[in-house]
Amino acid sequence: TPPTAELQALDAAHHMHPFTANTALGKKGARIITHAEGVRLTDSDGAELIDGMAGLWCVNIGYGRHELAEAAARQMRELPYYNTFFQTTHVPALQLAAKLAELAPGDLNHVFFAGSGSEANDTNIRMVRQYWALKGQPERRTIIARHNGYHGSTMGGGSLGGMAGMHAQGGLPIPGIVHIDQPYWYGEGGDMTPADFGLARARQLEEKIIELGAENVAAFIAEPVQGAGGVIIPPETYWPEIQRIVDKYGILLIADEVITGFGRTGYWFGSQSYGIRPHIMTIAKGLSSGYQPIGGSIICDEVAQTIGQDEFNHGYTYSGHPVAAAVALENLRILQEEDIIDRVRTHTAPHLAQAWGSLADHPLVGEAVSRGMMASLALTPDKASRARFAADAGTVGYICREYSFGNNLVMRHVGDRMIIAPPLVISAADIDELVIRARKTLDQTLDHLHR
């Protein structure tokens, strides 16, 4: 490999990184990852990092599983590409659809494939509107989503998402998508108990449905646990109340399981961990453990059968790509046969909860919480009042993330929250090492602030 500085110069000159001010990056030089094994990344200078984010919340089975490489090579030799449009298909796509129908709860028995989570959410927008049109209620078009939710970067996904910074660029949201507030008790709950706050935030859905008229509402979409919004774990009262409301008004529930699917919460799907019954689940990321780009929607009998009555004018060249599907099947086999998700629920997640939770005593930490294998910290200037780093929220998190990188730990920041979501296969010893590095990072950040 050429020297790091040479690679960094090429990168800075030509490669535009997502979600990055690229001129600032150019000045600094990107970290170049060359190799990975288990939960560890190696960079072009030979340094080893613990990947606390499983890439982008996706490498659930960890790096270096050669079975997936072999599944890809086998499929590439046999049938590298064919499409699933019209009346053709191939074995990997149909087998993966059948496997997902077996794993998904309830009557979520039908799969529409996409290349990513964003594309799958674009599918969902069109599918729920087409569903109601076929039901003779074409005015049911509005989709309710949440502020600070994340559903992808396409025009549709970015519109469903409630990221102010994304809406400000490029004229989002598209028409017919509205947002209610998030169930973020630590940051927005004031003097309410978490239980009361969870109910109040869920009831915003009912208020919004009444304001719009239920006859105009197609669906509600949300992540079981908000990921990119800062690993925000809803109060226990939240989801049962949401389920009551969607049932009462007969609107469709879309659970965006792109992060929470495939074991992240200790269950196959986050919906199971909260006991909710979505009509559609969005999937991607952990479906292939990120080894191949693939996403999709898992759809209940009623919606799939209705949509199937007419030609649904929608699809992607890579819907159900055979190599990606073959890799996803191998990934699901490993998750299932190695009992990875059961072990998360019974061992790994409880250990993470205890180890990560111990950071709550740090002077800079307002809360240290986790659900399954996703965890977060709120950085605070004053623990007692749950004060937030208001104007410079981004700055504090950014400083903390930089120290974390310096300590060879990949931890991400969202405003004033620090987040992790390591591979599900991380050992107890590596969780302890991750937490040691996180504590050192917090100490350095605190020193920095006092400078």
Q: Which one, 121 or 376, has the nearer CB to ligand PLP?
A: 121
Q: How far is CA 95 from CA 117, 123, 172, 289, 443, in A?
A: 20, 21, 37, 18, 50
Choice between 84 and 116, CB closer to ligand PLP? 116
CA distance 40 to 406: 15
DSSP β-bridge partners for residue 36: 41
- Give me the amino acid identity at 222: A
Q: Which is nearer to ligand PLP, 232 or 431 (CB)?
A: 232
Q: Considering beta carbons, is residue 261 or 266 the nearer one to ligand PLP?
A: 261
CB of 273 to ligand PLP, least distance (A): 15
Residue facing ligand PLP at closest CB distance:
117
Token representation of residue 333: 């086999």
Rg for the chain (alpha carbons), in Å? 22
Write down the least CB distance from residue 239 to ligand PLP, Å: 16
Residue (123 or 441) nearer to ligand PLP, CB: 123
Q: State which residue, 71 or 283, has the beta carbon closest to ligand PLP.
A: 283
- 292 alpha carbon, distance to own chain's centre: 16
Task: Note the Cα 244 to chain centre separation in Å.
Answer: 24
Alpha carbons 330 and 33: distance in angstroms, whole number:
25
In the complex, the smallest distance separating the C-beta of residue 199 from ligand PLP, rounded to whole angstroms, is 24
Least Å distance between CB 228 and ligand PLP? 5
- Closer to ligand PLP at the Cβ: 229 or 366? 229
* DSSP for 159-205, written as a single string: HHS--HHHHTTTTPSPTTEEEE----HHHH-TTS-HHHHHHHHHHHH
Alpha carbon distance 67, 42 (integer Å):
21
Whether the CB-CB separation of 285 and 259 falls below 8 Å is answered with: yes
Omega prior to 173 cis, within 30 of 0: yes
Shortest distance, position 440 Cβ to ligand PLP, whole Å: 28
Under the rule (CB under 6 A), what is the footprint of ligand PLP? 56, 116-118, 121, 150-152, 157, 223, 227-228, 256, 258-259, 284, 295
